[in-house]
Chain A
Amino acid sequence: MSRVSVKIVGASGQGINSVGEIIAKALKRSGYFVFGYREYPSLIKGGHASYQLDISGNKVASSNKIVDAVVSLDHNGLSIHLDEIKDGGYLIHDMPEWNFGDSDKKKIEEKNIKVILLPTEEIIEELNAPYVVQNVLFTGLLWSAFNQDVSKLKEVVKERFASKPKLIDLNMDCIDKGYEFKSEEEIEIKLPDANKDCSDAMLITGNQAIGLGAVHAGVRMFASYPMTPASSILTYLAEIQNKTGMVIKQAEDEITASQMASASYFMGTRAMTGTSGGGFDLMTETLSMVGIIESPMVFVLAQRPGPATGMPTWTAQGDLLLAVHSGHGEFPRCVMSVSDAEDGFYLTAEAHNIAERFQIPVILLTDKHTAESLFTSEKFDQKSYKIDRGQLVDGKDLSELKAEDRFMITDDGVSPRWVPGQAAPGYNATSYENLPDGTVTEDSVPAKEMFDKRMRKMEALKNSLPEPELFGSDSPETLIIGWGSTKGVMSDVLSDLDNKKIGYLHYSYIWPLKTEKLLELSSKAKKVVIVEGNNQSQLGMLIKQETGLSIDSKILKYDGRPFFYEEILDKIS
Chain B
Amino acid sequence: MAKYSSQNPCTWCDGCGDYGIWTAVKRACVELELDPSEVLMCFDIGCHGNMSDKVGGCYRFHGLHGRVLPFAAGAKIANPKVNTIAFAGDGATFSEGMNHLVHAVRSNYPIVCLLHNNENYGLTTGQASAVTRQDIPMNSSPNGIPEATLNPMDLVFSLSPTFVARGTSCDIKQLTEIIKEGIQHDGFAYIDVLQSCPTYNKFMTDEFLREHCSSVGSDYDASDIELARKTAIDTEDKIATGVLYRAKNSRPSFVGRLKSREGKKSNLVEEVEKGDVGEFMEELV
Contact = CB atoms under 8 A, between A and B. Distances in A.
A480 interface: no
A286 interface: yes
Interface string A213-224: 001111111010
A460 to B, nearest CB: 23
**Chain B contact surface mostly:** mixed
Interface string B166-185: 00000000000000000000
B70 A259 contact: yes
Contacts of B67: 255, 259, 285-286
Chain A, interface size category, equals: 35 or more
A246 B275 CA distance: 11
B70 A260 contact: yes
Given A264-B75, A426-B58, A426-B59, A269 B70 contact: no
Given A264-B268, A430-B62, A421 B259 contact: no
A247 interface: yes
Interface in B217-258: 258
Interface string B102-120: 1100000000000000000
B71 interface: yes
A429 B53 CA distance: 9
A99 interface: no
Contacts, number: 213
Interface stretch (A109-117, A202-210, A465-473): A202-210
A146 interface: no
Interface in B56-79: 56-64, 67, 70-75, 77-79
B40 interface: yes
Given A263-B78, A268-B78, A421-B81, A218 B273 contact: yes
B70 A438 contact: no
Nearest to B278: A382
Of A208, A217, A264, A385, most B-chain CB atoms within 10 Å:
A264
B75 A220 contact: no
Contacts of B280: 212, 215, 240, 243
Contacts of B281: 202, 212, 379-380
Contacts of A269: 78-79, 267-269, 271-272
Contacts of B272: 218, 220, 268-270, 387, 389
B52 A244 contact: no
B124 interface: no
A439 B6 CA distance: 10
Of A202, A217, A240, A269, most B-chain CB atoms within 10 Å:
A269
A572 interface: no
B112 to A, nearest CB: 15
A252 B60 CA distance: 25
Contacts of A385: 274
A387 B273 contact: yes
A426 B271 contact: no
Of A200, A208, A419, A423, most B-chain CB atoms within 10 Å:
A419
A503 to B, nearest CB: 32
Contact of A263 (B60, B73, B273, B274): B73
Nearest to B56: A426
A406 to B, nearest CB: 10
B285 A202 contact: yes
Nearest to A220: B268
Contacts of A219: 275
A266 B75 CA distance: 7
B284 A260 contact: no
B199 interface: no
Contact of B275 (A208, A218, A256, A259): A218
Contacts of A220: 78, 268, 271-272
A435 to B, nearest CB: 9
Given A221-B78, A420-B40, A425 B70 contact: no
A380 B38 CA distance: 39
Contacts of B8: 439
A389 B40 CA distance: 22
Nearest to B267: A269
A524 B276 CA distance: 45
Given A221-B77, A263-B74, A426-B36, A201 B285 contact: yes
A292 to B, nearest CB: 10
Contacts of B38: 421
Contacts of B52: 428, 430, 438, 440
B82 interface: yes
B275 A244 contact: yes
B269 A268 contact: yes
Interface of A: 200-204, 208, 212, 215-221, 223, 240-249, 251-253, 255-256, 259-271, 285-286, 289, 293, 379-380, 382, 385-387, 389, 403, 419-432, 434, 438-440
Closest 4 pairs (CB-CB, A-B): A263-B74, A260-B74, A420-B59, A267-B78
21 contacts: A204-B284, A242-B260, A243-B279, A243-B280, A247-B261, A255-B70, A256-B103, A262-B71, A263-B61, A267-B82, A268-B79, A271-B78, A285-B67, A387-B272, A403-B56, A420-B40, A421-B79, A421-B82, A423-B37, A426-B56, A429-B61
